[in-house]
Structure formats: C-alpha cells, structure tokens
Structure 1
C-alpha cells in the first residue's frame, strides 16, 4: 500500500501549526491602545482626528482625571421619563484614547431608555436601584431579556439594538460602562423619523409597510 508523503505527520504537528497561526492574529479593543500614559483630549483643537489631539502635558491638571458629573440625578421630565448623563470624552476629556467611558441613566416610574444601539462599543451595566426590564435583539432576530434588580449586571454586545425599561413602582438607576471613550448612540425612532435631511417617505412606507400618513405622524413626533 502506498504511503502518503504526509501520513507520518502527527496530529500534534498540525495542532501546533494552528496555534501558531491563531496566536499571530492581532486582537484589538474598541479604541486603539494608548502609546503614552495619558492623552487628555483638547476639545478645542482646530484639527480633526479619530479622537482628540492631546493637551500639552504642561497644561494638564489633576482635575483632568476626575469627573463628578455622574453624581447628580438627571431630569426625567420628558416623553420617555428617563435621563442619560454621559461620562465620555466629550464631558471628561481625561478619557481620551483610554478606551473606556460610563453613563448614568435615571428612570422615573415607567421610564424607558428607548431602543438604540452603540456602533463603537459593547455595553455592560449594573442596576443600582429599582426594577428594570433589560433586553436586546440579535442579528438573527432573537430577543433576549430579563428583569433585573439592584446589584445585578447585564451586557449588550457591540452594535446590537437594546433598551431598558423601569417596571418597578419607584425610581430606578443604572450605571453603564463601554469599551470606547465615545461609543456613540443611534436611537431607532429618532434616527429613522427625525433625520436631517429627512429620509424619503416612500422608503419608510415600504420598509414598515404602512401608509404615508403614519410616516408623517411619526416624523412630526420626532423631527427636531
């Protein structure tokens, strides 16, 4: 019987080759890794880059590394009965290039953080008080949800549509964290019906299989 030239090579050899190839594939976080201790964002810089230019080290102060914006309860007097206080690079320039940020989200009874997605980051969160329904939908249209109470956490993979709704009798509060200094957010209703310039009506009527008057009514609600 003829012997294949490669029949003598053991499975261990091929496993070693696979491990070498896999280990050579670079892994990246949501934001590029820093090449220095810090890069406090200069939000007033005239140039535009993917992020913000660094403030000169001689102008950096201790205040650049501390932020108290998440300590205050937000105003929930709006159509969704909720409030989001961002702790990203735009409000806390010390986060620039570090690949992290946090939000505070307050809910009045019945409040909703409406369906939205974060195009640049995975989100994790912890319930501080209250009772919240947290859910997201996968790209296969599978809906995952659970009611959470104080001390319980959740995670939403990058880019997936998700929401949180206060289903308790009192106020609710969560803190969320992201692996990006500016994760971005696309709120579905506002993105589709409040865009400027407006998305053509025939696109929306065909997409949602509704009459034009329904689209006009939605645009009237969400136009700025």
Structure 2
C-alpha cells in the first residue's frame, strides 16, 4: 500500500475519532468560585449574557491624584469575566505630567503598549541587565516580555495615556518599590539585600506605608 495512502487513512481515522470531542465556545468566569491556575470555573451558559463580553470602563481616564500621578484601569478577568480562559486582557494607563508607572513585573503575561495621547518613555531590563528604552509618541507600540521589570513615565507636559494588552486574563502584578518598602520586612534586611542607606529605606517605608 503506498505510503501516502497509509498517511491519508491515519489522518482520516484521527480526525474522525476527534470530531466528537467536546468543544466549548467560552468559559465566562464565575467570580464566586475559586481562581486557580486554569482560571475561574465557568458560569453556566444559561446565565451568560452579552454584558459578560462587553466592558466599558476603559473609555474614561483613571484618577491620577496619587503618589505616582498615574492610574491603571484594568480589564482583567476579575473586572471582565468574558476573558476567562482566553489568554488575553486589557488595561488603560493614564499619566499626569510627571506621572510614572514604577518598575514592575507581570509574572503571568507579556504586555503590548499602544500610546494614544502624549509621549511616554518606556523601557524594560532583560535578564542579562540590558536596558531597552524608548520615548513613544501617539500610535507607537512597544512590547514587554513576560516577567521582566519594566516601567512607563510621562515624557510630555500634558496628560498622556495608553492602552495595554496582556497574554493572560490574569497577568499578575508586582511593583518593585512596594515590594521593598510597603511591607514589614525589617529595614536592616532591606539594606543588606539592596545596598541602600538605612535612612533612605526608612524614609521610603514612611512614604509607602511600610514598617520595620
């Protein structure tokens, strides 16, 4: 029997046997259930409505009257149940003049940023400590690989904004400054592990709400 004919028969059998597999169109999050590595459990399709697939809160800028003079409005699974299990989510960044999104990481996702107003200086640091830095204008796009430290700073004298997309419905977030100075890790240990001056550490803890 010719080899190509055997391959054809094998393919036919494989696809015939798999054609009866259950295919699920979506898994709208049941936010009352536990959030595990695979996401939230699915809401019953009988309880799913079009509102689960529509999110309107990114139309309005966030409140930038805070210590970083910036705001992040997320459309993650907790706010937008329809993205559950789809491997994507969104957020809006708003930066007042002088605003900054400090060094942070997303352990669960890569990020793409699209500038929609003003100018934003953005960058990330690779695991080899190479810095990739650019000042972006309206319409420019930059990608930040998963897990790498990155930041955004308003480089304009006006309000700047951007939309960001993530390759996960729950990208996760850890802000470096808050990880160091907004908890009860003893200041002496922070000093030992960062080589920072103890007085400066205590000052930053005071600003960010840390103790110790």
* TM-score normalized by the length of structure 1: 0.80
1:43-122 equivalence runs, <5 A = 43-45=31-33, 47-50=34-37, 51-122=39-110
Aligned partner of 1:130 in structure 2 is 118
Q: Deviations over 1:131-161 (max 9, x none)?
A: 1111111111111101110111000010111
Report the CA distance shift for 1:103/1:203 in structure 2 as closer, same or farther (over 3 A). same
Alpha-carbon separation, structure 1, partners of 2:132 and 2:30: 40
Aligned partner of 1:170 in structure 2 is 158
Aligned partner of 2:187 in structure 1 is 201
Aligned partner of 1:159 in structure 2 is 147
Are positions 1:40 and 2:66 aligned together? no
In the TM superposition, structure 1's runs of 4+ consecutive aligned residues that sit over 6 Å from their partners are none
- TM-superposed CA distance for 1:200, in Å, is 2.4
Alpha-carbon separation, structure 1, partners of 2:35 and 2:62: 31
- TM-superposed CA distance for 1:61, in Å, is 0.7
* TM-score normalized by the length of structure 2: 0.84
Structure 1: runs of 5 or more not aligned: 1-33
Alpha-carbon separation, structure 1, partners of 2:23 and 2:192: 48
What count of residue pairs does the alignment treat as equivalent?
Answer: 188
Please give the secondary structure, in 1, of the residue aligned with 2:147.
Answer: coil
Please give the secondary structure, in 1, of the residue aligned with 2:115.
Answer: strand
Please give the secondary structure, in 2, of the residue aligned with 1:74.
Answer: coil
- Which stretch of the first structure deviates more once superposed, 65-74 or 210-219? 210-219
Please give the secondary structure, in 1, of the residue aligned with 2:114.
Answer: strand
Please give the secondary structure, in 2, of the residue aligned with 1:58.
Answer: helix
Structure 2: runs of 5 or more not aligned: 1-21
- Which stretch of the first structure deviates more once superposed, 47-56 or 64-73? 47-56
Aligned partner of 2:200 in structure 1 is 214
Aligned partner of 1:27 in structure 2 is none
